[in-house]
Amino acid sequence: MAPMPGTNSDNSNNLPTVDVTGGNREYGLQPIATILSERQITNHQVVEASTEQLTHKMMAKACRGRFLSSKVRQKILRAVNKVTGEQFKLSDLFTYH
């Protein structure tokens, strides 16, 4: 069966990662990555310290600058504060709001 006109037969797309409004959702390396690295803390240690639903995937996205919802950023903030014993603010960990 031939593909319908205007469709891609292998079902792949090469579109950039953007949100529905057309804005970019990649913000580059975030301060959280530097903070954890300087203290020799791994993403795994942050996930383990969290009492909430925090995943390794969320941590990886946070460090590399993928947009995260404010709820996820708050979870990460609480876990980082717990594992480091310090009191960071969201603006210390992320360069976007």
Q: What percent of the chain has pLDDT over 90?
A: 71
Question: Which CATH architecture does the domain made up of 31-93 adopt?
Answer: Orthogonal Bundle (1.10)
What distance in Å separates the CA atoms of residue 80 and residue 85, rounded to the nearest whole number?
8
pLDDT at 24: 79
List the domain boundaries for the chain.
Answer: 31-93
97 — pLDDT class (breaks 50, 70, 90): confident
Choose between 60 and 10: higher pLDDT.
60
Give the tens place of pLDDT for each residue, 7-46: 444 444 444 444 445 567 889 999 999 999 999 999 999 9
pTM of the predicted protein model: 0.75
